[in-house]
Each structure stands twice: as C-alpha cells, then as structure tokens.
Structure 1
Amino acid sequence: MKSIFKNRYSLVLFFSTLFIFLSTSLRIVFLIWAKNDVEWSFSSMLHIFCYGLLYDITVVSCFTIPFTLYLLIIPNRFINSLFDQIMLYFMYTLYWIILYFSFFAEITFWDEFKSRFNFIAVDYLIYTYEVVKNIQESYPLPLLIGGIITITAVTIYFTFKRNAFKNSFSSTPKWSKKLLVFCLNLVITVTLLNILSNETTIQSKNRYTSEIAKNGIFSFFSAFRNNHLKFDEHYLTLPISEAFAQVKTDLQDSKTRYDVAFKNPLRRTILANNPEQPEQKPNVILVLMESMSSSFLKEQYNEKSITPNLNKIADSSIFFSNMFANGTRTVRGMEAIALSIPPTPGNSIVKRVNNQNLYTIANVFKDKGYQNMFFYGGDGYFDNMNAFFGGNGFDIYDRGRGSILSDKINTKRHNIDDKEVSFENAWGICDEDIYNKVIQVADFKHKTKEPFFAFVMSTSNHKPYTYEEGKIDIPSGTGRAGAVKYSDYAIGKFLEEAKNKPWFENTVFVFVADHCASSAGKDAIDVKNHHVPAMIYNLKNHPNEVVSKEVSQIDLVPTLFSLLNWNYTSQFYGKDIFDPQYQPHSYVGTYIKLGYKKGDDVIILSDQMKINQYKWDKNNLKETAIDPSFKKSIISHYQTADYLFSNNLLQEK
C-alpha cells in the first residue's frame, strides 16, 4: 500500500493531506476570530480538532472518489498519455478552484453569520443575482477572483515541485491494487457519511465550539438535504389532541370564543374590547425594518445617536421595549407578523410549497374592507416573497426584473419603474425610494376612499451598507452604523412627508424589526440577539406608553386589532398583550433549535428528541432542571404549529 500511494496515487495523497491542512488552518482562523466566545478548555479543543478531522476526512474522501475511480478504469497503457495528463491536471485544478472558492465563501459567511454554511447558504445558492451583486458591492471581486486563481496556480506549482504529478504518471499498478484503493476509498466515504451528520458535533454546549468543528462543505450539503424536518420524527411530541388542548388553554381569555365548526382547533372569535364603542378603521402601514436590533436605539456614532428618529417615535408611541423576534431571518419575521405563528423547524412557511390561501392578517383586514398591499424594494422573487404575499391576498409592489407571478395567484403586481429610483444596490432600491412609493400609492388610495393595509419591507440596513452620499454624516459603504443611521433617516423623512398628507391623521404606523443584525452567540440560541424594537405610532384613543413586559413578535398585530376594538376571527397564536390574562412569553428559534421564553426561563427543543431548560442572565444560558408544565407548553405550541401547516389546516376556509 505504501508504494501505491508514493506512485500512481501520490497526487491523491498530496491533495488529501493539503486539504486537511488548509481546512484545519481555517478552523484555527475561526477559533481566533471567536476567541472571546469560544470555550478555551482542553476538552473543547479536543472536540474541535477531533471532530474537525473526521469531517475533513469525510469531505476529502468524497472528493477523491472520482479520482480513484478514474485511476481504476483507465488502462495502464494510457498512463502518462496526453489524455491522462489533461484529465489529472484538469481534475486537480478544478478541485482546488472549488475548494479555495469555498474557503473564501466560508470566511465571508462567518463574517456575516458567525456560523458554518447552513440553510441560509442554500437559499443564497438559489438567489444568485442578489448574492453575486451583493458580493460585487461588498468585496473587491476582481482581486478575490485573481487571488483564487493565483493561489490555485501556486498550489499546482507546489504540487509539481513535490513530484506528485511525476510520480502519478510514472507508475503502473496492477488492476487488483487499483480496485483495492477504490474500494477502500468507497468504504471510508460511505461509512463516515452514515455515522456523521451536521448535528454530531453539537454535543458541546458552546455553539462556537460546535460550529468551528464542522466542515463548511459538509455543512452545506447537509443543510441542502435537510431543509425541512418532520417534527414528529425529530422532536419530542405529545398526543396531538393533548397538545391542542394545552394550546387552547394557553390562548383562552375573556374575549376568546372557540368555533368548533372549523377543522382548525384554534379557530376562534376574538371579541371587541368594548362592544358598545365603534370599531376604528384607520389605514395601517406596517414597516418591517431590516436587521434593526434593539441595541441600535442606544448606540452612538461620534457621540450622536444613530437612531434619532426611531428614538423620537418611541417616545410618542406605544413602544414595546421588551419584544423578541421569532427567528434570525427576514422570512421568519414575515412569517411571525403575517401568520402570527411560532417558527416551524426547517424553512420558514414563506419559503415552503403549499403556502397559499392561508389565513393571515390580510384576511382580517380584508374582512374589515381594507385593500392589502406588499411593498419591497428588491425583486420579490427573492425568498419566495411574491409567491407568499401574492398567494395570500396582497397586491405586490416590487422592483421585479421580469419574473412574473404564477397564474394561480389572483393578485396584482406593480413594478417600481427606473424613474422612481434614486439609489439602488444588490438588495434593491433605497429605503427613501420605497417609502416614496408607499406615499404615492397611499395618495391614490385616499382619492378612491379605500382603506388600506401596507406591509412594507425595508432593505437599506443590509450589507453592503450603501446609500446615496450626503444623506447622513457617515460615508456610504463604511459599515453597519451608517446603514442603521441611513435607515433611521429614511423613516424620519417618510413620516415628515406623511404628516403633510390628508390621510395621515387617519393612518396608524407600525414599526418592527424582522430580526437582529447579528444572531450568533456562544449559546445554542443567543437570546439577547432576538431582542428587537417595535412601536405603534399615531394611534388615536390610546395613550403613548412604554410596554416593558415581555412580548412576542407574533403578538404585535393581534394587539393592534384589539386596540382598534375589532371583533374578528382568529387562528393565530398571538394575543392582545394588554389583556389582563396575557402571560408574557416569546418564541426564539433557529432553523433547528426551537426556543420558548418566559422571563428568565428559557426552554429549547432540539432535533434528536432533545430538550433543555435554562436560566438566562441577559448574557448566558445556565442549564437548570426541566419544569414539566413548561416542557408541555413548548412541545404543544411548536408541535401544533407544525401539524396545522403540514396537514393544510392553516387555510382561510
């Protein structure tokens, strides 16, 4: 065996050794990057590098299967022929281009998400236009491509100088030995793929330890394969009737009347707060703010607030100072607001198939005579937004580039024209432009005397953090602080212009973040990185106040409905937070981890039928004994949410 790998297989051995060395080096880079959060103990380091080696061997064994198969099937008489030389040089060069690109991509992904490749990376593979353009605007792409080509060339030269090519072309092993090498390669690959999963390394309680141990390529294909998890196969469950009974008990209050005529057990009527008073029917503009962490409202740049307008709005609105977002992606925020439902494992419902004709907040608005509209400054094809909102009763206003809505979607789509755009980057037009479009449409709706609900998605607070120069005192493209301040500036300008409109006095504005700018931390779920701002502005007949009780993102719109004194049909998990029977709580989840929080108590469901409970001290999760009633609640809420969608019980009828 030794002579085989020093001769015909020397290129395979050299490739494998160099890949493991470089992958380990990248692991060390991430370890230093996360030095303040990773656990620096012998057991943690052993965990990182032992599991890391296993993942690396698995990946390299997959890469070498085509190598060893080629070396098996090519007859010895063709060794060192022009064809043989072209094939080996081509395969070797192509592999390194792919690997160096993946290393670069992993570094940029870690910079953004503090994680190895996951569902987000798979999503980005689908939406190539936005991603490629974002990379072009965020990084010196010609330099990076040139760097990848240069490093690949250096690697090939180094391999050549080590005589790996020469040895590969000068040996003629017996077919039986070639078969043995291929079979050994195949056995190692199949065995490791069967015993390893992306969750194998999650034995560590420190999230960074688990993430650094992984291999990015392995993680990517694992996420690609497992983009939806069947709840009853991966998580703890209860008898479904018992789970629904628990949720109904948790949702019950003095204004709730369950309707047994519907298949959805949670279908119910929510009575008006004061039946003797008329309903309020103002226009409603809800702005889902991109990546607007609560912490930004306190941050400063050059001793000045970066969110002066949001701070001003918070002082003159119903400000929810203790709200927590469902998840870590925009589609999770959309799901939470539109469907008022806990996050289901895997992909958001916004991105799933069979997500049309659901009962959403749009149905409530429609029943009250409203026109529903969705505004997005990019192409709504991204993240399946147009299909979801268009398929659930919203007219679409977006920056489409030719993609159309399905014929099955009975809605209108309006393109934002070039003449309406003052600035645009990879993710779409700037926030000022999308707000100008909202005002333009609101003017038209006011003339037709149609009450409207506008769901607006902002984009400017996103890498590459660019905007038109001269708007604020932070140069464009210099970092998150500038993007936050520009986003805040655009909101301030939006409200100032709206105040001059005849429809302003009869319009309520809701501002809420989709998720925090950063969601990663050392714990499985970093609770503080789910803390988002939310405020209801310009609501008549209710005093401005700061609501300090814990609130879930899914409670925001049901609370608004109650403040408007509406009697309406609901199958939402969200409730009126001002109801005396409201129990403060929130959902804090990721794609895999499903968290439920009540004050400082946090309980987390994980796949592989795991459950853990913690005390949260604002910075860390400290494991505690599991409370049986808390355990029953979290299982019930997440299990029933998944069950309702999976069994087509979230539909409007």
Structure 2
Amino acid sequence: MSFLKKLAPFYSLTLFYISVSIVLRIILLFHPITQSSFSFIDTLSIFSIGLISDILVFILASGFLWLYLIFISNSKYLKPYGYIHFGILIALLLYIFSGKSILTEYGGALPEIGLAFVGIKTFLFGLLLFLPTKRDKIRYWLFAFVMFLYVVLILQNAISEYFFWNEFGVKYNFIAVNYLVYTNEVIGNIMESYPVVPIFGTLFIVAGTITFFIIKKSKIYIEKIPSVFEKIQLSVVYFSLFGLALWAVPKLATAENSPNVFTNELQANGIYRFYLAFMNSELDYFKFYKTVPKQEAYALLNNQIHNLKPFSSTRTIHSDSVEIHKNVVLITIESYSADFMKMYGNEQNITPFLDSLATKSLLFTNLYASGNRTVRGLEAVTLCLPPTAGESVVKREDNKNKFTTGSVFHQKGYQVKYLYGGDAFFDNMEDFFSGNGYDIVDKKTFAPEEITFSNVWGVCDEDMVNKAIQTMNAEAQTGKPFFNHWMTVSNHRPFTYPNGKIDIPGDAKSREGGVKYTDYALNKFFTKAQKQPWFKNTVFVIISDHCASSAGKTELPVDKYHIPAMIYAPGFVEPKHYTQLMSQIDIMPTLFGLLNFNYQSKFFGQDVMKPNYKPRALIATYQDLGLLKDNVLTIISPKQQVKQFALELKPKEGVASDCQIYYNQKPLATLRKELVTETIAYYQTASDILKRKGYNK
C-alpha cells in the first residue's frame, strides 16, 4: 500500500473540513450581521490565515481518528490473546455493572455512560473475535460509522457556528461554553426556536451521502490493514504534524489583531475559539452587555459605596474603636439552601444543630448567594466582588495577587489557611488560594490513619473536623491569631458518608442525608472546639456557598439564591436577626466591621451594619447578571438585553415574616430605568477594575 493511500482517511476528512470552513466563511462574510467593509488585505487574511488555522486545528481534532485506526488489526484476535482481551473487557463490564465502581461512587449519569461504552466495546470485540468470517464486513461498517460521525460533527459544527454568528456576530466564546452547562435549557430553546427535525434530517442525509464518497476513497485502509512498520511510519508523520499544530495554532491566533473586529472573528477557527473560551472562562462585558459612560458608571457606584477613589472601588475603612484581633473561622457549607432549615419552613428536621446555633447567632435572614457554583461562593467571600460575566475569578488565569479577605487578615498579622476535605486542585482552588497567600490544608495533607471515610469528593466532613481542630490547636500555640476558611464536601452527590451517624443511612445516597450528616459533623466540630482554649477568642462565620438547586422558571429564580448565614461568637456577637436585604459579598466586610478593623478596602461588599448601607443583592449565572433591590429583580444579559421582574411574596404559613423566601416573579411592562443603570454600574465597574488589574493588592 503506497504511503498516500495509508493517509487516505486523514486527508479525505481534512479536505472536507477545509471545504466546509471556506463555504462557512463566505456565508458569514456576507451575513447581514457582518456590518463591515473589508479591504483586499483583510479578505486575504481571512481566507489564508483561516485556511492554515483550519488545517492545523483539524490535525489536532483527528487524534481520535488516529487512535481508532492505529489499533485496527487481525493479530489481537489470535489465540490466546483474543480470549484474554475479551475476558478483561467482560471483567471491566461486570465491575461497572456491580454498582461498586468509582463511576457509581461519583453518581449522576456517569455509571450509565461507562456501562454503555464498555458494553458496546465488549460486544463489538466479541463479534470480531467469534465471527472471523464476518470480520471484514463488521469492520467495514464500523469504519463507515466512524467516518460518518466525523462528517456529522464537521457539518454540525458549521451549522452551530452559523447560528451562533446569527445570534451574536462572533465565533464561539464563553456563551457557547455556558450552553454546555445549561444543556436542558439550551436544548429546549433550540427545539422551540428552530425547525430542528428538518435541519437534522437534512444533515443526516447530506452527511450520509458525503460519507459514501469519503469511504470509497479511503476504505483501502481497512481492506489492506497496514503492517506494524507502516503504522509506525504513519504515527511518526502524524505526531510530527500534531506537534507542529500544537505550536502553530496559538501563534496564528495572535495574528488576529486587525482593527476590524469582523476580520479577526472571520479569520479565527471556531473550534479553537471554543477551546480558548473553555480554558479562559471569560466573557467580555464591554462587548456583549449594556454600558453607560465610564464616569457615570463610577459616579453611580460612588453613590452606593461612599468615598471611593476615582475610577476604582478603593476607599479607607476607619473605625472609632480599638481593633479586636480575634481568631476567625469561616465555614462555607456545600450546596446548603435556606429552605433546609426549620426557621425557613422545613419540617424534616435535617439541620437540628444549625437550627439551634442560629438562635445563638447574629443571623442574616435575607442574604443571597452570588451564583450557583462553589467557585462563585468562594469568590464572593474571598474577593467580595460582584459575579462578573463568564467563569468565576477563581478559575481564571488572572486570579492571583488579588485584594482578598485573606490579605486583610495578613495585614493584621494573622495566619491564613484554606481547609478543604478534597483535593484543592479541583475547580482551581489550590491555584487561586495559594496564589493569594493562603496555606492549603486538603486531602493530600492527611495521613492514611486520619481518613475513616472518603468518596470521590474527598474525606468525610467528620475527618475534616478532626483535621481542622488539630490545625487550629497548632496555630493557637504560635501566639498569633488565625483565619481559617473551611469548605465542607459531604453535602454533594453522591451523598455518601459513614453509616451509623444519623438516622438516614449513608448508602441511601439522599440529599437530605447529605444535609443532615454535614449538620451532624458541624455539631461535632463545635463540641470539640468549645473544649479548646482558643474557642472563647474566636468568631465563627457560617454561610452556604450556593443553594442546592438553581433551576427555575426564570433566568434567575430568586428563591434558589436565598442562603443561610450567621456569625457566632458567644459573649462577643449579640444573637439577633438582621433582616435587611444583603449579598454574599457583604458577609466578610460586615465581620471586619464587628472587629473594628481599619484598612484600605477594594471590596464591593459592604459592612451592612453601617447607617449608610443601601440594601441590595447581586446574583448571577455565567451570563445573566442580576440586581435585587426595592422588590425588583433587574437582569442584564448578552446582546444588551435587559429584563425586570416585580417580586411578589408568596407567604408560607407558620414561617416568620423575615424568613419568607418564596416569590412570584412578574415581568415589568415598564422598566425602572434607575435600577437598570445601577445594575449596569455595578457589573461594568467590576469588569473594568478586573480588566485593568485594579483589584490586585
């Protein structure tokens, strides 16, 4: 077989991908949304650099094709190797089917996906092993399916790029990544917005026809399977091109620097843009959202947060009293909704300890989470910053050397640590916290004998209790005050924890069990802490990272952002209810106020105990940014969209007036413009300050 014929599957698909990309660029060039004129140089750049980018990106994307083709052989079905291979596949299938695999421990749809994948692999291998006379025909149809899949994905990507351009006038960005997060909502929107059946029906017919001709050109690969030496030759060529592509694709992306934005967008490869959006996790506020003049935005911000320095969130916080350097323990509880607690109307008795602790604490009954992911909660209590568009700052590349709650404690001579029962590598926590001066205590620091129970997320909360007490005892010995931020893990799917601790078995894998076990573990923590000499000199802040669920009938269902929060310090903080509307970003500045800290602040969060505080809450998804104020929810979204909802209380019988959390959200026919501009001001200034690195220490 000649060398070119060995490459037939690769170059056939590459030529097809390039052809589709050129046609797509021409269509987008003349699309009504592309309101720009292009010079000859612009046009040349769009198609020449675009062509090179497409070739290189497809080389990277064809890695799966190489992996499939390189393992096609007849020798693996020879005795006894074929039977050994088949036995291993069956053992793996039974392992997953047993319900005791690592996939089952994680939960969700992963066990079903794993079972389906290994099941299909086992079935196909068995067919090829036990039906040698049919092997060529089976292999042909498998080859045809792989080629068809590539053709469908190439066409599907082109269609998706077209519709995305039709919607936003750009190649893929973080909104496209966001679409993968909210799959149900997005699929529902597509089903309602576009003629899906005709589109996909046509897609499969066209893909099938194209696949027929591609197979005709490239089936020689499976008719005359390359020898081992030929496969090595093929692999050397492929990996050389793969390495070149890895180096060159980012270089070509830097050439997207034309003053004509449409030139840059049309020149870009959509798949690589999607990858960049996924990795960088940012969404350019100034490109997609409503804005007001910069001076006006900062004037509005200064009206909400007084005495700011020009074009910043910086101001001096001064107390009339002596600073109090008590130890501080901040506990953020995983996925903990307000409606889990008795005072908010829950009748299941799943939070008996925290229900009791709330009566002895300064309880914030009207506090809202910034977002619906853990990283948003960590961002809110660490940076005290509005949830800007895209991914949380925690997961961005520019996430270090920021002005944080930890940096304020550092200034005051505190030891600063982040405690997490799992691997802090997850969700970029280790990178973020260590990059901002926190020492990390996570699962990697546990000795084997310190772990009594763990699942895929980490050690159980009881094990973290023991580690936290041990850590705090050691810190207390130094004579310096400590600030420890502990993030719990047990109230998370798969909701497994040690049996025999609460009246809901750990292997029941129920949300209620996860909540109650975390409550049980927190009770153990405080029981042990009360016996330590440092307890009386410590302030405890307990708050959720986000609610258990954020799904609702509107973009931002208000009741799904209402979280419990309290500050507990017997003899120091008076037990009472604080009922004013506030945001998750306010909890730590309020604590600093209680400690009479003097410092220069960059926080958007405020001390809600101050008389000049104006009640509001900032809540968001990845792209819908909201402001709660005056019983109105204002939402700004990409494409300069604005919505407003009047909040109408749905009172629950037997629940105190300050603990009501359910609302009807009715669209406002006439927008309240002052709330729209205030919403824009918060998010525009936060985005601007981050962009200019004005939030760095």
Aligned to 1:582: 613
Aligned to 1:212: 188
SS at match of 2:427: helix
C-alpha displacement at 1:627, in angstroms?
1.2
> Structure 2: how far apart are the matches of 1:287 and 1:220?
40
Aligned counterpart in structure 2 of residue 268 of structure 1, from 315, 336, 343? 315
Q: Say if 1:468 and 1:184 are closer, same or farther in 2 by CA, change over 3 A.
A: closer
- AA aligned to 2:427 is D
Aligned to 1:634: 679
Rg larger in structure: 2
- AA aligned to 2:305 is L
- AA aligned to 2:188 is I
C-alpha displacement at 1:137, in angstroms?
4.2
Q: Say if 1:241 and 1:156 are closer, same or farther in 2 by CA, change over 3 A.
A: farther
> Structure 2: how far apart are the matches of 1:378 and 1:150?
31
Equivalent residues in 2 for 1:154-193, closer than 5 Å: 190-193=158-161
SS at match of 2:335: coil
Aligned to 2:506: 476
- Deviation per CA, 1:439-466: give whole Å up to 9, x if none: 1121112221110000111100001111
- Deviation per CA, 1:378-408: give whole Å up to 9, x if none: 11111111111111111111113xxxxxxxx
> Structure 1: how far apart are the matches of 2:484 and 2:534?
13
C-alpha displacement at 1:620, in angstroms?
3.5
- AA aligned to 1:373 is K
Q: Which runs of 5+ in 1 are unaligned?
A: 1-61, 71-81, 83-103, 105-131, 159-164, 171-181, 401-414
Which moved further from structure 2: 528-537 or 352-361?
352-361
Aligned to 1:358: 402
- Deviation per CA, 1:254-273: give whole Å up to 9, x if none: xxx4456xxx622111121x
Q: Say if 1:454 and 1:134 are closer, same or farther in 2 by CA, change over 3 A.
A: farther
- AA aligned to 1:441 is T
Q: Say if 1:596 and 1:222 are closer, same or farther in 2 by CA, change over 3 A.
A: farther
> Structure 2: how far apart are the matches of 1:419 and 1:360?
34
**Equivalent residues of 2:105, 2:494 under 8 A apart:** no
> Structure 2: how far apart are the matches of 1:426 and 1:301?
32
**Equivalent residues of 1:467, 1:477 under 8 A apart:** yes
Aligned to 1:419: 449
> Structure 2: how far apart are the matches of 1:220 and 1:527?
35
> Structure 2: how far apart are the matches of 1:169 and 1:543?
76
**Equivalent residues of 1:208, 1:521 under 8 A apart:** no
> Structure 2: how far apart are the matches of 1:146 and 1:185?
24
Aligned to 1:338: 382
**Equivalent residues of 1:307, 1:488 under 8 A apart:** yes
Aligned to 2:629: 598
Q: Does 1:384 align with 2:428?
A: yes
Equivalent residues in 2 for 1:141-290, closer than 5 Å: 145-150=114-119, 190-196=158-164, 210-214=186-190, 226=277, 227-252=281-306, 257-259=307-309, 265-272=312-319, 275=320, 277-290=321-334
> Structure 2: how far apart are the matches of 1:362 and 1:555?
15
Aligned to 1:297: 341
Aligned counterpart in structure 2 of residue 644 of structure 1, from 675, 689, 693? 689
**Equivalent residues of 2:496, 2:506 under 8 A apart:** yes
C-alpha displacement at 1:483, in angstroms?
0.6
C-alpha displacement at 1:156, in angstroms?
12
C-alpha displacement at 1:213, in angstroms?
4.3
Aligned counterpart in structure 2 of residue 553 of structure 1, from 558, 573, 584? 584
Task: Decide which structure has greater helix share.
Answer: 2
Which moved further from structure 2: 140-149 or 442-451?
140-149
**Equivalent residues of 1:134, 1:427 under 8 A apart:** no
Q: Does 1:367 align with 2:414?
A: no
- Deviation per CA, 1:215-247: give whole Å up to 9, x if none: 9x9x99997564321111111112222211211
Count of aligned pairs: 497
- AA aligned to 1:283 is N
C-alpha displacement at 1:616, in angstroms?
2.4
C-alpha displacement at 1:419, in angstroms?
2.0
> Structure 2: how far apart are the matches of 1:384 and 1:302?
34
- AA aligned to 1:190 is A
- AA aligned to 1:265 is S
> Structure 2: how far apart are the matches of 1:639 and 1:325?
20
Equivalent residues in 2 for 1:520-539, closer than 5 Å: 520-538=551-569
> Structure 1: how far apart are the matches of 2:608 and 2:640?
32
C-alpha displacement at 1:356, in angstroms?
0.9
C-alpha displacement at 1:154, in angstroms?
8.5
Q: Does 1:573 align with 2:573?
A: no
**Equivalent residues of 1:288, 1:514 under 8 A apart:** yes
> Structure 1: how far apart are the matches of 2:579 and 2:591?
17
- Deviation per CA, 1:56-78: give whole Å up to 9, x if none: xxxxxx9xx99xx99xxxxxxxx
Q: Say if 1:141 and 1:541 are closer, same or farther in 2 by CA, change over 3 A.
A: closer
C-alpha displacement at 1:568, in angstroms?
1.7
> Structure 2: how far apart are the matches of 1:528 and 1:189?
37
Which moved further from structure 2: 139-148 or 559-568?
139-148
Aligned to 2:523: 492
SS at match of 1:285: strand
**Equivalent residues of 1:137, 1:464 under 8 A apart:** yes
SS at match of 1:494: helix
**Equivalent residues of 2:103, 2:114 under 8 A apart:** no
Q: Which runs of 5+ in 2 are unaligned?
A: 1-57, 67-73, 75-95, 128-135, 142-149, 166-171, 192-199, 201-269, 649-661
> Structure 2: how far apart are the matches of 1:247 and 1:533?
27
SS at match of 2:506: coil
- AA aligned to 2:304 is D
Aligned to 1:318: 362
> Structure 2: how far apart are the matches of 1:425 and 1:187?
41
> Structure 1: how far apart are the matches of 2:386 and 2:507?
35
Which moved further from structure 2: 375-384 or 299-308?
299-308
- AA aligned to 1:293 is S
C-alpha displacement at 1:354, in angstroms?
1.9
**Equivalent residues of 2:567, 2:573 under 8 A apart:** no
Q: Say if 1:134 and 1:248 are closer, same or farther in 2 by CA, change over 3 A.
A: farther
> Structure 1: how far apart are the matches of 2:594 and 2:336?
25
**Equivalent residues of 1:259, 1:269 under 8 A apart:** no
Q: Say if 1:302 and 1:189 are closer, same or farther in 2 by CA, change over 3 A.
A: closer
- AA aligned to 1:212 is G
SS at match of 2:418: strand
Q: Say if 1:431 and 1:584 are closer, same or farther in 2 by CA, change over 3 A.
A: same
